[in-house]
Amino acid sequence: VGCGSAKSNGTLVVGTNAAFPPFEYIGDDGNPDGFDVALIKAIGEKIGMDVKIQDMEFDSLVSSIGGKIDVAIAGMTVTEERQKTVDFSEPYYEAVQAVIVPKGSSIKSADDLKNLKIGVQLGTTGEFIADEIEGAEVSAYNKAIDAVNDLNNGRVDCVIVDKNPAEVFGTQFADSVDVLPGTDFDFEPEFYAIALPKGNTELADKINNAIAELKKDGTYDKLVAQYIEE
Ligand code: ARG
């Protein structure tokens, strides 16, 4: 027996941006970990492929598919704009944006966001929402945590970022920030899916079947409990 798995159909190179807990982050051992990382590894096992995780900027994931990476899993929301370039698997998680504000802030509803300095992660749906807010001055950071740091420095008035990471950051800065739910701001639900090379229906079918099997056999629920609801 050599090294590697017994019957591998090759290697799936998976792009992510490992600065988005609990979906992807760098674990204590220095390797990418998180819900998405565990999910794609479980998918890899189902379809008999070795999974190699490639950590990169979120904003370059979509354009790297079919080049540096085969697919991307990164808490990535299905959007029409992205669908011009890539296909998506079946959605695997429903999310929504949240607003991180300084503790005791008067920001409460959509109207209060007008004319504010808003921090976001570059190339994310949080940025696309902020760009539409009247009079907003948007600062886009490579990592969402850098936006949160600038909130703590007073350089931005609030941060718009996906709910689950917002809650993790909120816990890290529990003394200084509050996390407000997207429903207070009429934000639309978003659906995370794996971004795939356009037109590769064979790979899409394999991955979608694997997701369906993982949902059926309890693996999916186990990973939600382990990474998201712990
Ligand atoms: N859901 C948002 C989007 O698709 C943010 C995703 C950011 N993910 C990350 N791994 N940094 O735009």
pTM, entire model: 0.95
Pocket residue to mutate for ligand 1, from 54, 77, 164, 168, most atoms within 8 A of Cβ: 77
Residues with CB under 6 A from ligand 1: 17, 19-20, 24, 58, 74-77, 121, 124-125, 162, 190
> Which residues 6+ apart lie within 8 Å of 110 measured at CB?
184, 185, 186
- pLDDT tens digits, one per residue of 3-58: 544 556 799 999 999 999 999 999 999 999 999 999 999 999 999 999 999 999 99
- Reply yes or no on whether the pLDDT at 213 is more than 80: yes
Residue 157 to residue 13: CA distance in whole angstroms: 38
Domain 11-93+191-228 has what CATH class? alpha beta
Q: How far is the CA of 12 from the centre of ligand 1 (A)?
A: 21
> Which residues 6+ apart lie within 8 Å of 55 measured at CB?
16, 17, 18, 26, 32
Q: Where in the chain is the domain with CATH 3.40.190.10?
A: 11-93+191-228, 97-185
Closest CA to 140 of 152, 155, 154, 153: 155
- Give the pLDDT band (50/70/90) at residue 2: very low
- pLDDT tens digits, one per residue of 117-163: 999 999 999 999 999 999 999 999 999 999 999 999 999 999 999 99
Give me the architecture of the 97-185 domain, per CATH.
3-Layer(aba) Sandwich (3.40)
- pLDDT tens digits, one per residue of 70-88: 999 999 999 999 999 999 9
* ipTM of the shown complex: 0.98
